[in-house]
Amino acid sequence: MPHNESSYTEESTGLNYSSDADFIRSGKSGEVKTEDLDFGLPYVKPHIHLRYFPEGIRNCYNLTVMQGTHYLIRAVFLYGNYDGLKQRPIFDLYLGPNFWTTIDLQDQFVNINRIRLLDATVEEIVHMPKSNSLDICLVKTGTTTPFISALELRPLRDDTYTTKTGSLKLFTRWSFSNSKSDVRYPDDVHDRVWNTDFLEDDWTEIKARTPVDTTNAFDLPQAIISKASTPKGAGKSWSRDWSMQSTEEVHLYLHFAEIQALKSNNTREFSIIWNDKTTNYNYSPPEFMADTVPIRTSTKCDDSCLLELVRTKSSSLAPSLNALEVFMVLQLPQLETDENDVTAFKKIQASYGIQKMSWQGDPCVPVQYMWTGLNCSNTFPSIPPRIIFMDLSNNNLTGRVPEFLAKLKLLTFIHQGNPNLCSDPSCESGGNNKKKLLLPILASAASVGIITAVLLLVILFYRKKRSSTDLRPSIVANKRSFTYEEVKVMTNNFERTLGEGGFGVVYHGNLNSNEQVAVKVLSQSSAQGYKQFKAEIDLLLRVHHINLVGLVGYCEEGQNLVLIYEYMSSGNLKQHLSCECSSSPLSWENRLRVAAEAAQGLEYLHIGCKPPMIHRDIKSTNILLNNNLQAKLGDFGLSRSFPVGSETHVSTNVAGTPGYLDPEYNRTNWLTEKSDVFSFGVVLLEIITSQSVIDQTREKSHIGEWVGFRLTNGDIKNIMDPSLVGDHDSSSMWKVLELAVSCISQTSSGRPNMSQVANELQECLLSEISRKGAGRHEMDSKSSVEPSTSFGPQQTTPDAR
């Protein structure tokens, strides 16, 4: 849409459309010729404007998204003879560096079995971006000109359309009713387009007389779930086949609801058979309630697909099905260029105001569309490419060299063809003192090594500048996907075991021979499984704080699920309290420091994330320590997002560790941030006492009850770790004890929030340091004693679920 037309609301759907001019730097506006269409103007208005790309090979939209969130992405193409040539084009569509699909508008049968939108061709995919930026690119592949009519992105719940790898490319979305009209927004809140499909010779339509409960995660429209098809004739099976030439895996989402009031002697029960394999036995749709059955087996259709619902012997009613969605699993193997390299390069681009037609989309990949003037490393698709040098010569650049480049003593380049560049402030005021830069980039083949070194200095300088104001550990910048073979190499074939938990075994590893890592491998018998594996990746790829364990990478290859963390060489807090890691117990100052840092990490999850996060498994074994005894929270497999606004809790199944589990949450299933506060209070009691949380041999088995029982005479020595005698300030220990007792209140309303806890612990730590002499003990620069909600000027608020 032309930029000056701003936006408008489409009358038939109520959807608001806005101009794409702010999201792409190339292309021209066109307009379809409505006289060449078979339908009226009111229906084509959302797509009457289009953008076509007569120049360049790859033209890309750059969109800001939330990393780790699933999006329904829809691209619409309505040719409408906009150019008067009556020549429908063929071109390719890319998601970032990966091929999405070929748009072939010359194929008259392209829309058979596909989602329809009048005369338009529609491509739809459910995709989870791996960064906060997403490029959608149109690539010219022949003599015709690429174009696009509309581009739509809608965030979805992350527990709906999920895959272990890749994204879900829509093949079809059917509503099995005798209705003649398709269903979309506003009936469907996500504007999924449901095409009606009904085999009149084989099926009978049934309708609900009362509303159906549609509160499941898929938000199914009432217009879809309140109608269903059932086979004609007693004892017959329900079946639907379709043609589908695909080399990708096929995933199905079957949407059911029992929409008839069944009598006491009536049952509807059937088996679900997909391509001759039974996936579900004895299934019964819930009465007047939407239920979705996903089929995510690694099935491919050899030209023909077949879905059957076969009535069981005990069933008195024939099978029924309300709706079906069919997706192909599209693998996206090529990772985007290293995020820090791209950011640094775009900063250079913005500083100089450089505009080149090829500088759209990912700078390095695919290799055939690499930006001109760049060289990149592209060794493995599973490792983000790196920019290894660039050529900015002959760009007629003027003005002052950006400060972050000018400070580099070796940057005596970028001059050939750029005679007006200088590094002196007088440039900006028109002064004559212009420090000319001396050497051209890429002056000759012999200079390649020097140029590479200089660009690396640029990138390293940029990273150093970032790290000075950013609390995230530097190791996080290297997080990426690994193959299982790479995991075996880094662990020396799983030679050294560090520990074992509910997820699986943790091994020691070495990355690039100079960086130690902890490699957590999912056990095949693990009760946690893929859901917790995915939850931990989703959280740690988005949430960064100095007191949260950094995720280096992960492996998701078939049944091999692996998490790779920064290596915490000093084990966990529990080991230090029980003297497993060291012959000398932790001092009171170090215990306070660990408590304060862990509290900061937890406070960050509660108020620094949008939406806030609840850890759900705070315990001393999940507080890890590095070689400086710096504390970081780990194990985020049970973490959940927390409601904002007027809601005060989220209702969920109880999860956590006995002894640390909030009794109110355990009783009501109501999870709040105060559930983490309870668990943290138990950890504080461990820090003071070095006692086990549950010990059946004590007069009171739980540590909270034991502390209360032992404090009846008011002597803190009755509960204090004996090793702390003479090594503590009585005032600070009493404050921590009082704080711990308030944290483990039986009701959440009686507990402080984590900001209050963090502030109290910081005051206690400062008091202890002051007692021992500020001159002798300065605060470790890695341990913040400033207000813990300050994340640094360049720390972005994470978009956590």
- Give every CB contact of residue 678 below 8 A, 6+ residues apart in sequence: 660, 661, 662, 663, 664, 665, 743, 744, 745, 748, 751
584 and 733 assigned to the same domain = yes
Nearest CA-CA partner of 69 in 133, 155, 153 = 155
pLDDT above 60 (res 793): no
For residue range 402-425, what is the model confidence (pLDDT) as tens digits? 554 544 333 334 455 565 655 454
Element (DSSP H or E) covering residue 640 = strand 640-641
Where residue 107 falls among pLDDT bands split at 50, 70, 90? Answer: confident
CATH code at position 509: 3.30.200.20
- Which residue among 83, 341, 617, 721 is the active-site one? 617
For residue range 40-70, what is the model confidence (pLDDT) as tens digits? 444 466 788 899 999 999 999 999 998 888 9
693 and 585 assigned to the same domain = yes
pLDDT above 70 (res 457): no
Q: What Cα–Cα distance (Å) separates residue 799 from each residue in 233, 333, 476, 539, 614?
A: 53, 24, 16, 9, 14
Contact 656, 664 (CB under 8 A): no
| Helix (H/G/I), strand (E/B), else coil: 675 | helix
Pick from 15-19, 375-379, 434-438: least confident: 434-438
Where does a domain end: 566, 585, 610? 566
Q: What is the mean pLDDT of residues 542-565?
A: 84
What is the phi/psi pair of residue 457, to 5°? -65, -40
Q: How many CA atoms lie within 13 A of 221 on its CB side?
A: 22
Contact 661, 638 (CB under 8 A): no
pLDDT of residue 778: 44
The residue range of the domain holding 669 is 573-772
Contact 556, 481 (CB under 8 A): yes
Nearest CA-CA partner of 427 in 455, 402, 390 = 402
What is the 8-class DSSP label of residue 715? -
pLDDT above 90 (res 503): no
Q: Residue 801 falls within a domain, yes or no?
A: no
Q: What is the mean pLDDT of residues 613-631?
A: 91
pLDDT of residue 37: 67
Q: Residue 784 falls within a domain, yes or no?
A: no
pLDDT above 50 (res 233): yes
Bridge-based pairing of strands 49-52 and 28-31 is antiparallel
123 and 197 assigned to the same domain = no
Q: What is the mean pLDDT of residues 8-20?
A: 85
261 and 369 assigned to the same domain = no
432 and 498 assigned to the same domain = no
pLDDT above 80 (res 85): yes
Q: How many CB atoms lie within 10 A of CB 646?
A: 5
Pick from 98-102, 317-321, 544-548: least confident: 544-548
Contact 573, 634 (CB under 8 A): no
Residue 780 appears among annotated catalytic residues: no
pLDDT above 60 (res 799): no
**Unique residue bearing structure tokens 């091994």:** 507
Q: Residue 796 falls within a domain, yes or no?
A: no
3-state secondary structure 332-395: CCCCCCCHHHHHHHHHHHHHHCCCCCCCCCCCCCCHHHCCCCEEEECCCCCCCCEEEEECCCCC
Q: Residue 337 falls within a domain, yes or no?
A: no
pLDDT of residue 491: 92
pLDDT of residue 89: 95
Element (DSSP H or E) covering residue 565 = strand 560-566
Residue 115 CB burial class (10 angstroms; 0-12, 13-18, ≥19): buried
Contact 19, 1 (CB under 8 A): yes
For residue range 475-495, what is the model confidence (pLDDT) as tens digits? 333 457 889 999 999 999 999
366 and 270 assigned to the same domain = no
**Unique residue bearing structure tokens 């879809």:** 224
| pLDDT above 90 as % of the chain | 41
> Can you read off the two tokens belonging to residue 75?
């691209």
CATH code at position 79: 2.60.120
Where does a domain end: 536, 566, 596? 566
207 and 139 assigned to the same domain = no
CATH code at position 694: 1.10.510.10
Where residue 38 falls among pLDDT bands split at 50, 70, 90? Answer: low
Where does a domain end: 431, 450, 468? 468
637 and 526 assigned to the same domain = no
Q: Give the C-alpha separation, 508 to 487, whole Å.
A: 11
Q: Residue 778 falls within a domain, yes or no?
A: no
Where residue 710 falls among pLDDT bands split at 50, 70, 90? Answer: confident
Q: Give the C-alpha separation, 399 to 419, whole Å.
A: 10
For residue range 123-162, what is the model confidence (pLDDT) as tens digits? 999 999 988 899 999 999 999 999 999 999 999 988 899 8
Q: Indicate the annotated binding residues.
A: 520
Q: Give the C-alpha separation, 693 to 500, whole Å.
A: 19
Q: What Cα–Cα distance (Å) separates residue 398 from each residue in 344, 422, 423, 430?
A: 20, 8, 11, 12
Nearest CA-CA partner of 641 in 674, 589, 606, 683 = 606
For residue range 749-769, what is the model confidence (pLDDT) as tens digits? 889 999 899 988 988 888 888
Q: In whole angstroms, what separates CA 755 from the centre of its chain?
A: 26
536 and 624 assigned to the same domain = no
Q: Residue 789 falls within a domain, yes or no?
A: no
595 and 726 assigned to the same domain = yes
562 and 582 assigned to the same domain = no
Q: Indicate the annotated binding residues for ATP.
A: 520
Q: Residue 782 falls within a domain, yes or no?
A: no
Pick from 36-50, 81-95, 679-693: least confident: 36-50
- Give every CB contact of residue 442 below 8 A, 6+ residues apart in sequence: 391, 393, 448, 451
Q: Residue 783 falls within a domain, yes or no?
A: no
Q: In whole angstroms, what separates CA 103 from the centre of its chain?
A: 28
**Unique residue bearing structure tokens 């009713």:** 177
- In total, how many domains does the chain have? 5
Where residue 797 falls among pLDDT bands split at 50, 70, 90? Answer: very low
Q: What is the mean pLDDT of residues 645-649?
A: 48
Where residue 218 falls among pLDDT bands split at 50, 70, 90? Answer: very high
pLDDT above 60 (res 447): no
pLDDT of residue 422: 59
pLDDT above 60 (res 442): no
Average pLDDT score over the chain: 80
- Give every CB contact of residue 738 below 8 A, 6+ residues apart in sequence: none
For residue range 251-306, what is the model confidence (pLDDT) as tens digits? 999 999 999 999 989 999 999 999 999 999 999 999 999 999 999 887 888 778 99
pLDDT of residue 538: 72
> Exposure pattern of 604-625 as b/e (b: 16+ CB <10 Å)?
bbbbbbeebbbbbbbbbbbbbb
- Give every CB contact of residue 94 below 8 A, 6+ residues apart in sequence: 58, 60, 100, 135, 136, 137, 138, 139, 361, 366
98 and 217 assigned to the same domain = no
* Amino acid symbol at 1: M
pLDDT of residue 471: 35
pLDDT above 50 (res 738): yes
For residue range 301-347, what is the model confidence (pLDDT) as tens digits? 877 899 999 999 999 999 999 999 999 999 998 889 988 788 777 77
Of 241 and 776, the structure prediction assigns the larger pLDDT to 241
Of 517 and 429, the structure prediction assigns the larger pLDDT to 517
pLDDT above 50 (res 777): no
- Give every CB contact of residue 626 below 8 A, 6+ residues apart in sequence: 568, 569, 570, 632
Q: Give the C-alpha separation, 221 to 224, whole Å.
A: 5
What is the phi/psi pair of residue 452, to 5°? -60, -45
> Can you read off the two tokens belonging to residue 704?
């909270």
